[in-house]
Homo-oligomer: A and B are copies of this chain.
Amino acid sequence: MLGEATTSWQAKRREGTRQEILSAAWAVARQHGLAALTLREVAARVGMRAPSLYSHFDSKHAIYDAMFEQAWSEYEELARESDATVPAEPRAALRYLAWRFFDFSVADLARHQLMNVRTIPDFTPSAGSYAPAVRVLDALHVRLAAIGITDGADIDLFVALVGGLIDHQWANDPGGTRWARLIDRAVDMYADALHLPRSDISSSDESATDQEER
């Protein structure tokens, strides 16, 4: 009955196979599509049969749930890492934030669908899995506040703007750059609307830090 009966290395091993399963699930999702993921295939990739997965996850949705959390944690990590690199100048910062999320979202369809599109019928992330997503959004609030953007409506508009570009990039030109090209313009448009100070010095400063040849 006691939960602590398992030794620590047992727990570690258990966690290991859990990760193996998740990793297999990601592979399947990327290959066949997020919604086409089947327990049989995931199980096969880790050398199991489908029912055995239930020793590690309560249900298929629980797997999606864990993937959801992983995806947002992944972005949270990336954001944290690159946080020091965010330019100080407001407009450059906005561009940076927009590009960061855009690139991340556009790099992996399955991940993007899981994070931002309700692709899976009936699936709603649990509160726990939602936590990283909330933290990311909180961090964005802080970032934007540093620029002077604190109004909720302004933030919503920024989010919708970038999100719209991502969705349309995936929907209408997957793998291309048709909507990516619009990001800088979109951000400037937004910055103008918010009367952010213009950086008159030059248009090619640190904003081009980790954006290659677009």
Q: Given A119-B119, A189-B189, is A178 in contact with B164 using a C-beta cutoff of 8 Å?
A: no
Task: Tell me whether A88 is interfacial, beta carbon within 8 Å.
Answer: no
Q: Which residues of B sit under 8 angstroms from A201, Cβ to Cβ?
A: none
As for how many copies of this chain the complex holds, the number is 2
- Contact call B153/A182, Cβ cutoff below 8 A: yes
Complex contacts, A113 vs chain B, CB 8 Å: 118
Most interface-central of A122, A167, A171 (chain B CB within 10 A) = A167
CB-based nearest B residue for A34: B121
* A interface residue numbers (CB < 8 A to B): 33, 35-36, 113, 116-119, 121-122, 153, 156-157, 159-165, 167-168, 171, 178-179, 181-182, 185-186, 188-190, 192-193
- Main secondary structure, interface of A, reads helix
In the complex, the chain B residue whose C-beta lies closest to that of A152 is B178
Q: B188 touching A193 by the CB < 8 A rule?
A: yes
CB neighbours (8 Å) of A171 from chain B are: 116, 118
Whether B36 pairs with A122 at a CB distance below 8 angstroms is yes
Of all A-B residue pairs in the complex, the 5 with the closest CB atoms, nearest first, are A164-B164, A35-B121, A189-B193, A160-B164, A160-B168
> CB distance B185 to A156 under 8 Å?
no
Q: In this complex, which of A33, A186, A192 has the most chain B Cβ atoms within 10 angstroms of its Cβ?
A: A186
A-B contact pairs, 9 of them (CB 8 A): A119-B119, A157-B186, A157-B189, A159-B168, A160-B179, A160-B186, A164-B164, A189-B189, A192-B192
CB distance from A125 to the nearest CB of B (A): 12
Residues of B within 8 A of A165 (CB): 160, 164
Residues in B neighbouring A156, C-beta threshold 8 A: 168, 178-179, 182
